[in-house]
Amino acid sequence: MSKRKTIIAEETLLSMLQSRDERGFSILYDNYSAALYGVILKIVRTEEIAADIMQDSFVKIWRNIEGYNASKGTLFTWMLNIARNTAIDKVRSQEFQNSQKNQDLDTTINTIDKQEYSQFDVDAIGVKKVIEKLKPEHRLIIDLLYFQGYTQAEVSEEFGIPLGTVKTRVKSAINHLREYFVEFATIWFSWIWLS
């Protein structure tokens, strides 16, 4: 998962994927697997299961690439949702629930120790700092949905917020995040080219 990233325009990569070019899939995997693995691991908390879910997620991405709609978000956001939902489905499965009950204490402690060193650090790409710029109600929604694995319906039920309000806040928060990231990317690329 530590392969060097290939710089490629999203449109070009998407075109390769839609024409079933295996090089496109390799580039996609090399560029995004570490970030997706980090999110999955945060949800399932077990490296072996996280690796399996990541494979399942990439299979779903490959099979459903025609379903990606650029007007609804970036390719990464679309893939992140697939990976996140696959991980959440696994956590909610009876098989997973039973396996967690049967883990002995040593296994649990070893798993936690390993995660401290191998977990993808979201702060390394500045996501947490950007989220701190959001309004408190938007920050809470994003934290619950994307970092704690809640669904929109669960947020609505647990916090007594109408589902429509949750959806509106999510949309608004994502729009604000998009603006921050565009600003950040512009500054970052300017710095790279001037260096």
Looking at the structure of the chain, the number of domains it has is 2
Q: What is the percent of the chain where pLDDT is above 70?
A: 69
For residue 113, pLDDT beyond 80: no
Q: Under the phi-then-psi rule, with left for phi > 0, alpha for psi from -120 to 50, and beta for the rest, what region is 9?
A: beta
66 lies in the same domain as 33: yes
Q: Does residue 78 share a domain with residue 148?
A: no
pLDDT tens digit string along 52-86?
A: 999 999 999 989 998 888 888 888 888 888 998 89
**Phi, psi (rounded to 5 degrees) for 84:** -60, -45
Within 8 A by CB and 6+ apart from 80, the residues are 35, 36, 39, 146
Question: Does residue 164 share a domain with residue 91?
Answer: no
Same domain for 84 and 112: yes
Q: What is residue 1's predicted lDDT score, i.e. its pLDDT?
A: 43
Euclidean distance between CA atoms 195 and 190, whole angstroms: 9
Q: Let me know if 86 is exposed, middle or buried by CB neighbors in 10 A (0-12, 13-18, 19+).
A: buried
Question: What global pTM score does this model have?
Answer: 0.49
**Residue 115 clears pLDDT 50, i.e. is over it:** no
- Higher confidence at residue 45 or residue 55? 55
Residue range 95-104, pLDDT digits in tens: 656 655 555 5
List the helix and strand counts (H, then E) for the chain: 10, 0
One domain, residues 136 and 114: no
**For residue 170, what are the domain limits?**
122-195
Confidence grade of residue 144 (pLDDT, cut at 50, 70, 90): confident
> Residue 88, CB half-sphere, CA atoms under 13 Å: how many?
16
187 vs 142, which has greater pLDDT? 142
